[in-house]
């Protein structure tokens, strides 16, 4: 019997994502001037206020207030009427030095023997549903908000949008797990105040269905375009009004959108957040590494859908174990345990090896902090960072290295494909 599956996304203006972006902007600035920085930074945003708290071990000094304000302004919180804007909000920093009890488990005389920054389990997932090997419902949810944000910043076809928004997509699947059609789309977007609420709601619904949806569909492959039809149930701003939003409407915290950040409820999640953590924290680095493994396995033809788990103990170099679930989609006679053994041979999962393989000690994290950490475009960009004393550094950095299909040939050789 057919079944329905739903995933959601939130925009860069959602309060939790504002917090994530500030935390990751701090990570990038620390790494730009000291690539060996150890950072765990949490952010809280609420009406007119930002609170930064965390632990840092670094040889550089930053103006954390300016970094936070610049991030908020870039998102689009630039007006006093939002009750939260980058130029006037208060910024309180309670960042202090990292505990020696933690650093002693990570730092080693030989970097290759670097221990894991914490215990825990991390998951990576990939599926053939989309060209970027991501679950379809989440991919579409992200795309809706990326285009909605573009419309807001263009300020041309739609001029009333404010930064906070959410989306949700429900897909109908066949018994053999193939997407058949889109059942429902939910979009809630913050907006300027209107004189007439009914006129406002009708205007927003019309613009979403007639402007936003066609822009999203136009960029999709034909196989996904055909899932859109006239029978989709649209729920546009279903509460009827969304003027009060952002950190004024809902306090935001770092790491509170971890399912949006990963696979939209498909696969699994170990529970650890990503943003605000340097790559010595395996919550982040090993989650990227397992996504890299899963994506390359699926692309190589080992399975149509794969989940990879790795686990660590704090201060211990080698992982506790590697688990693979191919959901019965492996086309040849090999068990999941045998696939896992091959993965161990192909991928060095020591924390330092992951950092080196995926080039994680670079300022690459601001881009991850909205619209998902997985399924994104691998590309090289140039960035410039400036310290309070005026010193600046310009770097070419490679983004989303864990999305590269650079192990496909090695996997095919190892599996005899």
Q: DSSP letter at 115?
A: P
Please tell me whether 348 is known to bind a ligand. Answer: no
Find out whether 16 is annotated in a ligand binding site: yes
Which residues face 412 on adjacent strands?
none
**164 belongs to an annotated ligand binding site:** yes
The reply to whether 166 sits in an annotated binding site is yes
Does 250 count as an annotated binding residue? yes
- 226 annotated to bind ligand: no
Q: Cβ-count burial of 265 within 10 angstroms (0-12 exposed, 13-18 middle, 19+ buried)?
A: middle
What is the C-alpha to C-alpha distance for residues 163 and 308, in angstroms, rounded to an integer?
35
Is 98 marked as a binding-site residue?
yes
Annotation-wise, does 85 bind a ligand?
no
Q: Are 31 and 278 in contact (CB under 8 A)?
A: yes
> How far apart are alpha carbons 328 and 352 in whole angstroms?
33
CB 279 within 8 A of CB 360: yes
404 is in an annotated binding site: no
- Residue 242 assigned as binding residue: yes
User: For tokens 């019309």, what's the residue?
Assistant: 206
Which residues are CB-contacts of 206 (< 8 A; sequence separation ≥ 6)?
none
Do 286 and 119 contact (CB within 8 A), yes or no? no
79 a known binding residue?
A: no
- What is the distance between the alpha carbons of residues 351 and 348, in angstroms, rounded to a whole number? 9
Q: Is 291 annotated as a binding residue?
A: no
Q: What are the tokens at 305? A: 């859908």
Q: Is 131 annotated as a binding residue?
A: no
Residues annotated within the binding site for ATP are: 14, 164-166, 241-242, 250, 256-257, 273, 277
**Binding-site residue positions for L-methionine:** 55, 98, 250, 281
**Annotated binding site for Mg(2+): which residue ranges?**
16
Binding residues are 14, 16, 42, 55, 98, 164-166, 241-242, 250, 256-257, 273, 277, 281
Known binding-site positions for K(+) = 42
């Amino acid at each position: 019997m057919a079944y329905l599956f739903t995933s959601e996304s939130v925009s860069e203006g959602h309060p939790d994502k504002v917090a994530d972006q500030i935390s990751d902007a701090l990570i990038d600035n620390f790494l730009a001037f000291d690539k060996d920085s150890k950072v765990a930074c949490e952010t809280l945003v609420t009406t007119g206020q930002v609170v930064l708290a965390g632990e840092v071990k670094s040889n550089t000094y930053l103006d954390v207030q300016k970094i936070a304000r610049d991030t908020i302004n870039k998102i689009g919180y630039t007006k006093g009427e939002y009750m939260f804007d980058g130029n006037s909000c208060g910024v309180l920093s309670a960042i202090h030095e990292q505990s020696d009890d933690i650093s002693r488990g990570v730092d080693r005389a030989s970097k290759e023997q670097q221990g894991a920054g914490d215990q825990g389990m991390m998951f990576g997932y990939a599926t053939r549903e989309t060209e970027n090997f991501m679950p379809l419902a989440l991919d579409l949810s992200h795309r809706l908000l990326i285009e909605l944000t573009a419309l807001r910043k263009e300020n041309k076809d739609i001029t009333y949008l404010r930064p906070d928004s959410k989306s949700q997509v429900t897909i109908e699947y066949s018994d053999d797990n193939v997407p058949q059609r889109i059942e429902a789309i939910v979009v809630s977007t913050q907006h300027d105040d209107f004189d007439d609420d009914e006129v406002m709601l009708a205007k927003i619904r019309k613009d979403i269905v007639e402007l936003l949806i066609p822009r999203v569909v136009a960029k999709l492959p034909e196989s996904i375009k055909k899932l859109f039809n006239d029978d989709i149930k649209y729920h546009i701003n279903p509460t009827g009004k969304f003027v009060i939003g952002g950190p004024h409407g809902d306090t935001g915290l770092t790491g509170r959108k971890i399912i949006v950040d990963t696979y939209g409820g498909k696969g699994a999640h170990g529970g650890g957040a990503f943003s605000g953590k340097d790559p010595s924290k395996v919550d982040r680095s090993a989650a990227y590494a397992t996504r890299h493994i899963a994506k390359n396995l699926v692309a190589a033809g080992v399975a149509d859908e794969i989940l990879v788990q790795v686990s660590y103990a704090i201060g211990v170099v080698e992982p506790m174990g590697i688990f693979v679930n191919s959901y019965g989609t492996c086309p040849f006679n090999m068990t999941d345990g045998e696939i896992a053994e091959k993965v161990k041979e192909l991928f060095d999962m020591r924390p330092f090896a992951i950092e080196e393989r995926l080039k994680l000690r670079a300022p690459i994290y601001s881009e991850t902090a909205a619209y998902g950490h997985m399924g994104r475009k691998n590309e090289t960009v140039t960035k410039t960072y400036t310290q309070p004393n005026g010193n600046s550094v310009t770097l070419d950095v490679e983004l989303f290295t864990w999305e590269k299909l650079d192990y496909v040939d090695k996997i095919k050789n190892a599996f005899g494909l």
